[in-house]
C-alpha cells in the first residue's frame, strides 16, 4: 500500500463549474522527498475571486497554466512510478480535495488510479483521540502556506507522528 497525501487549491467550491488550479501530492514515508506539483488551466469561465486569492494566483496567472489533461496524465504516471500496491488517497479535507482529483481523473482520463475511496486525516486523529472536537494540526512541522506541496507535506508529517503515537498503518 502507498499512502499519498494530497492537497488542492481551486477557484470555487465544486469541480466542473469551477476549476482546480493546482495540487500537490507527497508519498507518505519518513523522508517525504517524493512530491508532485501540478498547475492546471481553468476549465470554466466561472471563478470566485476570494477562493482564487487563497492560492496566491491571479486569474491571468491561471489562464497561462498547462491544459489539465496532460497534467493529470503526468500525475498518473508519477503515481505509478512512485507507488507499490494499492494507492490510498488521504488529505486534510478529503471531502473537498477528493472531489476535485476524482472528477479531474475521470473527466480527463476516464479513470481514477485511487479507485473510489479516500481517507480524512482529521477523522483518523479524532478516532485515535476519541474526541470529535480535537484537531491534528499541531502535529504539522511545515507551515500551512496554501501551496499544496507545503500543505500536503505538513499533513504527511502529522500522519507520520500519528503512526509514532500508535496508529496502525503500513508504509511499505
Cα separations in angstroms, 30 against 13, 36, 42, 90, 129: 33, 17, 34, 16, 23
C-alpha cell, 69: 489533461
Q: Which of 106, 107, 138, 146 is catalytic?
A: 146
List of residues 6+ apart from 95 with CB closer than 8 A: 120
Active site residue 138: no
CA nearest to 60, candidates 34, 21, 31: 21
List of residues 6+ apart from 75 with CB closer than 8 A: 23, 25, 36, 38
Name the residues annotated as catalytic.
Answer: 146
Amino acid at each position: 500500500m502507498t499512502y499519498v497525501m494530497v492537497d488542492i487549491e481551486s477557484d470555487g467550491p465544486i469541480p466542473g463549474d469551477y476549476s482546480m488550479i493546482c495540487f500537490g501530492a507527497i508519498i507518505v514515508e519518513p523522508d517525504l522527498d517524493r512530491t508532485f506539483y501540478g498547475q492546471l488551466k481553468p476549465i470554466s469561465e466561472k471563478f470566485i475571486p476570494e477562493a482564487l486569492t487563497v492560492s496566491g494566483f491571479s486569474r491571468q496567472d491561471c489562464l497561462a497554466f498547462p491544459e489539465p489533461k496532460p497534467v493529470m496524465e503526468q500525475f498518473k504516471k508519477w503515481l505509478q512510478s512512485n507507488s507499490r500496491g494499492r494507492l490510498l488517497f488521504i488529505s486534510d479535507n478529503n471531502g473537498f480535495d477528493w472531489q476535485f482529483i476524482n472528477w479531474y481523473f475521470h473527466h480527463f482520463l476516464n479513470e481514477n488510479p485511487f479507485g473510489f475511496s479516500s481517507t480524512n486525516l482529521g477523522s483518523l486523529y479524532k478516532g485515535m483521540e476519541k474526541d470529535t472536537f480535537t484537531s491534528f494540526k499541531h502535529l504539522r512541522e511545515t507551515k500551512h502556506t496554501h501551496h499544496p506541496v507545503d500543505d500536503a507535506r505538513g499533513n504527511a508529517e502529522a500522519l507520520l507522528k500519528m503512526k509514532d503515537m500508535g496508529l496502525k498503518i503500513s508504509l511499505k
